[in-house]
A and B are shown apart, each in its own frame.
Chain A
Amino acid sequence: MLCMLDSKNINKISSYIRFPVHKYTLHNGLRVILSPNKNIHTASYLMGVCVGSRQEQLGITGISHMFEHLMFKGTKKYPQFDKTYADHAVTEVNAFTSYDYTAYHASFQKDQLELVLDVESNRLSQLKLTQKELDMERSVVQEERLMGVDNNPSGIAMEKLFELSFKKHAYRHPIIGYKKDIANYDLKKLNTWYKHYYSPNNAVLVISGNFSVKEAKKHINKYFACLKSQTIIKKSKIIEPEQRVARYKSITKQVKSPFVRMACVCPKIGSREAYALEIISHILSSGESSVLYQSMVRESKLLSYISTGLWSFIDYSVFLISYPLLQLDQEKHIKSLMLKNIQKGLAKSITKYNLEKVKNIHTNQLLFSLKKDTDKLFLLSDFEIQLGDYKKLYEKLDILHGLSSQFIKQVGEKYLQAERFSCITVKNQNNKAC
């Protein structure tokens, strides 16, 4: 008999997820999360600033990402902080920008904790930008856009898909920004962005690994408590109108393997509906025994693979479907059959067996993500920034596993309807199958 997640094991898992975490907030609003672990040899930090492409609009798309690049240009005290870090064995120095936030992170040895906190507090408050640095970094971002989007069929497809799916919300804009906007950034706009969003009351500092909590609190107080909070521009949420008609766009590119990307806008991260859709995604396409793999790959032989997934953000989630399209003349038929099989799957496959399978998948994923310190760091920051509280990490498995099959079906039937999907097809110029 296959093992199931019985209540004894579920309780065990709960104790593993609740690893030691200390959270507090400075008087200036900086949220601090400390997760010590003496069993490893290094520590990591992440400074998350609650600004991403979600706050942008046409004219300044990609500005959060551009700013992420400029944060590496140094301050008066640390004009070449990358070399400072390199000289003190602070490694894996990097950053990323998402729709919802921008994060700066690195790994270090515990005796460099004070240096790291000094540099990061300096970057958060004392950055000085010059035109020369902006111009040079703009070239780099333009190259990055070429690599990730303009010269990359998959990148173009995702950019167009989000444009098609969101008519009003800022999630329609690419994180890297449009070419025209990248070309037009100026110091005034960037300094305004810095002033409005780079503030302790709009940031979260996470430190994990081998470090002293006492020392961390002391240094955080020394370097961050003196920073002044700013009034953060809080834009009211843009409500994306409900999609009632299917949307479609075809992109012509010289590709050997035409493909399709589909998206459906769904409720936000942390909502019960989003968790239900996460479960549905696994049932539909996790593993070769999944509903869509069996129906679309094995039975109908129309596809060689299919994948689904849920990308969740602060305001909305996006249910994604991807598959290659080797038989171009069957494009409509494949899409129609796939949507039918999704509905069939919702009707017949939200079973106890499949829900147990998904429990095992989630548990595996979560436990393996707790193995590496940096993965833990990102988990803590994601939950704190996107959901408002890192403790929601502890609740995730309980919420997921507590949803009834009826509720899951209802959510699936509501959101995964043909008319709610936007679809991008990328195919080659002559419309011929390869």
Chain B
Amino acid sequence: MTKSNFKNTSDLINYQELHVKTGLKIFFLEDDSLPTIQYHVLFPNTGSDMDPKDLAGLAFVTACLSEQGAGDFNSLDLQKELNYLGTALDIRINNQNSSIELSGLSWHGRRLWDLLEMILTKPHFKQKEWLLLQKQCINSRLQFLDKQQAVAREFWKSNTFQNKCIQARGSLKSLKRITLQDIKTFYKNKFQKGNPILMLAGKLDQKLKSHIVSSFESMFSYCDQNKTSFAIPAPTNQLKLLTKKDLIQAQIYTGYAISPILKHEVKKWITFKIIMEILGGHSMTSRLFLNLREKQGLTYGVYSYMSFSNLYAYFMIQGATKNSSVKLFLTSLLSLLKKFRDKGIDKIELQRAKACLKSQYLKTIETVESQLYYYVYYTCYFNFPTSMPAKYLDILNSISLQDVNQLIKTSIRPEHLQSIVYAHPCTKDSLKQLKNFPKLQVISFENHFKENLKKS
């Protein structure tokens, strides 16, 4: 039976899970079709939510600095080793997790592992390297501030969550504040005690697997972690205009905070995915696309998202339009959301969304790397049951029209939108005319960010 002829969706996911003596987990997914190997180390609950107050970006810089010299290698020698193997570390941070990924050719598997082990357990953390990394992060931040969509998104999140958990890669102020001691402390308290999960995908031989298991056992131990909590901000109905004089197009972000998904709410989570696909997914038949782009030509792209972590979640719509169309864009959007909430969806839309999500799921599990990541991500990120990935399609199929419309009624709240527009000041007058938002606050980009870098 080929992989594609699956009778049960549980046939689709075929990994091996191992609990090592220290209480940590390793996941293997073997695939001989290509001579490649990937190591992926996920540190749950070690993302930017763990950054201390005023030290935004600490998790990120700690992860980045770990590859600037480790074990017997100084920074240059370590980079030479990695680069010679045709690879580089891929470090990712979101609000909840950090992860480090290293991939390469399978005959380099042992060498890659040895380097990764060194980076994870014996980083040098030298001042000289930190100063260079700091400079690079500051420059990245400056580049970030030139990206309209990124700035708008950050501004929206900081307003929705009242300045919490926003800048995963740090602000100019926080990056200048972080010291090497902060990094070492964070590494010791968060990464070393972070209960990492190791995922191995690709062409693995038994000898290498055994070696990795035994070395992983000696690298980290299981540690009890304090649970953090987060109060969901109260809903508002606010519109803020962030202005910058040279902007020819407006970025619009609107939405609100919602309760996170709990581990027994798999069906609800998938139902939310259906709702988002219909409202503003990436297909050309989404409500937002058909109305704001196809029917009115107001935008090149407008999308809706729900993003969940185990601490908080949000619903968001994002789009861009020329400055003169901002009022019409927002008015149309509000009207569409109200209709969506009041009238719900029909059978055809549900069928289409299910087909799309099924196709996305099958694409997600197309490679062993993404299959493994998908499995670990959802079981460790949301603490979903381990059977979930295999049952995803069955659950998707079981969701009824009533389930979806009921959830739309309770979760789509156009009266509670926290909205921001990042545009030229000329949009102020038209936005003031919007009846739906009682008070318009106007802030200039320079005043809000106040991140003037003094010459170093």
Using CB atoms and an 8 Å cutoff, list the residues of chain A in contact with chain B: 2-3, 9, 12-13, 16, 38-42, 72, 82-83, 86-89, 91-93, 107, 109, 135-144, 146-147, 150-153, 210, 253-257, 259, 286-290, 294, 297-298, 301, 304-305, 324, 326, 353, 356-357, 359-365, 367-368, 370-374, 433-434
Whether the Cβ atoms of B86 and A257 lie closer than 8 Å is no
A2 in contact with B359 (CB, 8 Å): no
CB pair B82–A287 under 8 Å, yes or no, is yes
Cβ contact within 8 Å between A136 and B87:
no
Contact of B320 with A147 in the complex, beta carbons under 8 Å? yes
Task: List 6 extra interface pairs beyond A142-B322, A298-B76, A367-B34, CB under 8 A.
Answer: A82-B283, A143-B298, A151-B248, A254-B245, A257-B146, A297-B132
Q: Could you tell me if B35 and A150 are in contact, using CB atoms closer than 8 angstroms?
A: no
Residues of chain A lying within 8 A (CB to CB) of residue B142 = 256-257, 324, 326, 434
Interface contact B246-A254, CB-CB below 8 Å: yes
Question: Within 8 Å CB of B111, what residues of A?
Answer: 2-3
Question: How many angstroms from the CA of A256 to the CA of B79 in the assembled complex?
Answer: 30
State the CA gap A331–B348 with chains docked (Å). 59
In the complex, B80 has a CB within 8 A of chain A: yes
- Smallest CB–CB gap between B60 and chain A, Å? 16
- How far, in whole Å, are A150 and B360 apart by their CA atoms in the complex? 33
CA distance A413 to B87 in the complex (A): 27
Which residues of B are found within 8 Å of A144, using beta-carbon distances?
A: 300
- B132 x A368 contact (CB < 8 A): no
Instruction: Choose one: A92, A136, A326, A367; the contact of B105 (CB below 8 Å).
Output: A367
Q: Is the CB of B86 within 8 A of A139?
A: no
Interface residues of B (CB under 8 A from A): 2-4, 6, 12, 33-36, 75-76, 79-88, 103-105, 107-108, 111, 132, 135-136, 138-140, 142-143, 145-146, 148, 244-249, 282-285, 293-301, 320-322, 348, 351-352, 355-356, 358-360, 362-363, 365-367, 369, 451-453, 455
Select one of A41, A138, A253 contacting B246, CB under 8 A.
Answer: A253
How would you classify the secondary structure of chain B's contact residues: helix, strand, loop or mixed?
Answer: mixed
Contact A146 B285 (CB under 8 A): no
A82, A365, A373: the one contacting B285 at CB < 8 Å is A82
Once the chains bind, are A357 and B359 in contact (CB under 8 Å)? no
Instruction: Assess whether B85 is in contact with A89, with CB atoms less than 8 Å apart.
Output: no
Most chain A C-beta atoms within 10 Å of own C-beta, residue among B80, B247, B455: B80
Bound complex: CA A91 to CA B247 (Å): 34
A42 B36 Cβ-Cβ under 8 A: no
When distances are taken between beta carbons in the complex, the residues of chain B under 8 Å from A12 are 35
Q: In the complex the two chains form, is A3's CB within 8 Å of B136's CB? A: no
Q: B132: which of A151, A259, A298 is its contact (CB, 8 Å)?
A: A298
Determine whether the beta carbon of B84 is less than 8 Å from that of A91. no
Q: List 13 A-B contacts (CB under 8 A).
A: A3-B108, A3-B111, A38-B3, A41-B4, A42-B362, A86-B355, A89-B358, A137-B297, A142-B322, A151-B249, A360-B85, A362-B86, A364-B105
Question: B294: nearest residue on chain A (CB-CB)?
Answer: A136
Inter-chain CA distance A136–B85, complex, in Å, is 51
Q: Is the CB of A288 within 8 A of B79?
A: yes
B148's nearest neighbour on chain A, judged by CB, is A151
Q: Is the CB of B145 within 8 A of A257?
A: yes
Whether A87 contacts B300 by the Cβ 8 Å rule is no
Return the chain B residue nearest A365 by Cβ.
B86
The 9 closest A-B pairs by CB, nearest first: A360-B86, A139-B297, A287-B83, A89-B355, A257-B142, A288-B79, A144-B300, A304-B139, A91-B359
Q: Give Cα A359–Cα B87 distance, bound, in whole angstroms.
A: 11
When distances are taken between beta carbons in the complex, the residues of chain A under 8 Å from B451 are: 256
Q: Known: A147-B320, A371-B367. Is A287-B139 also a contact (CB below 8 A)?
A: no
CA distance A147 to B422 in the complex (A): 13
Contacts A107-B359, A151-B247, A372-B366 hold; do A39 and B298 have CB atoms under 8 A apart? no
Q: How far is the CB of B26 from chain A (nearest CB, A)?
A: 22
- Contacts A41-B3, A151-B249 known; A367 to B36 CB distance under 8 Å? yes
| Docked complex Cα distance between A140 and B322 (Å) | 10
User: How far is it, in angstroms, between the C-alpha of A127 and the C-alpha of B99 when the chains are bound?
Assistant: 48
Q: Output the nearest chain A residue to B5 by Cβ-Cβ distance.
A: A38
Most buried by A among B36, B138, B451: B36
Give the most central of B3, B33, B86, B363: most A CB within 10 Å: B86
CB-CB nearest in chain A for B369: A371
Complex partner residue of B453 from A137, A305, A434, CB under 8 angstroms: A434
- Closest CB in chain A relative to B299 CB, distance in Å: 6
Please report the C-alpha to C-alpha distance between residue A289 and residue B139 in the assembled complex, in whole angstroms: 20
- Given the interface contacts A41-B3, A287-B88, A367-B105, does A433 sit within 8 Å of B455 by beta carbon? yes
| Across-interface contacts of A362 in B (CB, < 8 A) | 86
The residues of A that contact B351 with a CB separation of less than 8 Å are: 87
Known contacts: A3-B107, A42-B363. The answer to whether A256 contacts B2 by CB under 8 A is no
The answer to whether A152 touches B86 (Cβ under 8 A) is no
With contact pairs A9-B107, A255-B146 given, residues A147 and B246 touching in the complex (Cβ less than 8 Å): no
Establish whether residues A86 and B356, one from each chain, have CB atoms under 8 Å apart when the complex forms. Answer: yes
* Chain A contacts for B367, CB-based, 8 A: 371-372
Q: How far is the CA of A255 from the CA of B247 in the complex (A)?
A: 11
User: Known contacts being A42-B362, A143-B321, is A367 close to B35, with CB within 8 Å?
Assistant: yes
A326–B79 touching, CB < 8 Å:
no
Alpha-carbon gap, A301 to B230, bound state (A):
42
Shortest Cβ distance from residue B70 to the other chain A in the assembled complex, whole angstroms: 14
Measured between alpha carbons, how far is A367 from B246 in the docked complex, in Å? 44
How many Å lie between the Cα of A16 and that of B31 in the bound state?
13
Question: Cα distance A12–B88 when bound, in Å?
Answer: 23
Q: Inside 8 A of A324's CB, which chain B residues have their CB?
A: 139, 142-143
Give the Cβ gap from B10 to chain A, nearest Cβ, in Å: 14
Q: Bound complex: CA of A301 vs CA of B297, how far in Å?
A: 47
Given A89-B358, A326-B139, the answer on whether A143 and B322 have CB atoms closer than 8 Å is yes
Contacting pair A371 B146 (CB below 8 A): no
Report A116 CB to chain B, min CB distance, Å.
Answer: 13
A289 to B352, CA, bound (A): 49
Residues in A whose Cβ lies below 8 Å from that of B359:
42, 89, 91-92, 107, 109
B136 A305 Cβ-Cβ under 8 A: yes
- Which residues of A lie under 8 Å from residue B284 when comparing CB positions? 72, 82, 86, 93
- Which of these, B81, B352, B355, contacts A2 with CB under 8 Å? B81
List chain A residues, Cβ under 8 A from B80: 289
Find A39's partner among B2, B86, B285, B296 (CB 8 Å cutoff).
Answer: B2
Chain B residue nearest to A370 in the complex (CB): B34
User: Do residues B4 and A40 form an inter-chain contact, with CB atoms below 8 A?
Assistant: yes
- Smallest CB-CB separation from B297: which chain A residue? A139
A360, chain B: closest CB distance, angstroms? 3
Residue among A138, A147, A367 making CB contact with B249, cutoff 8 Å:
A147
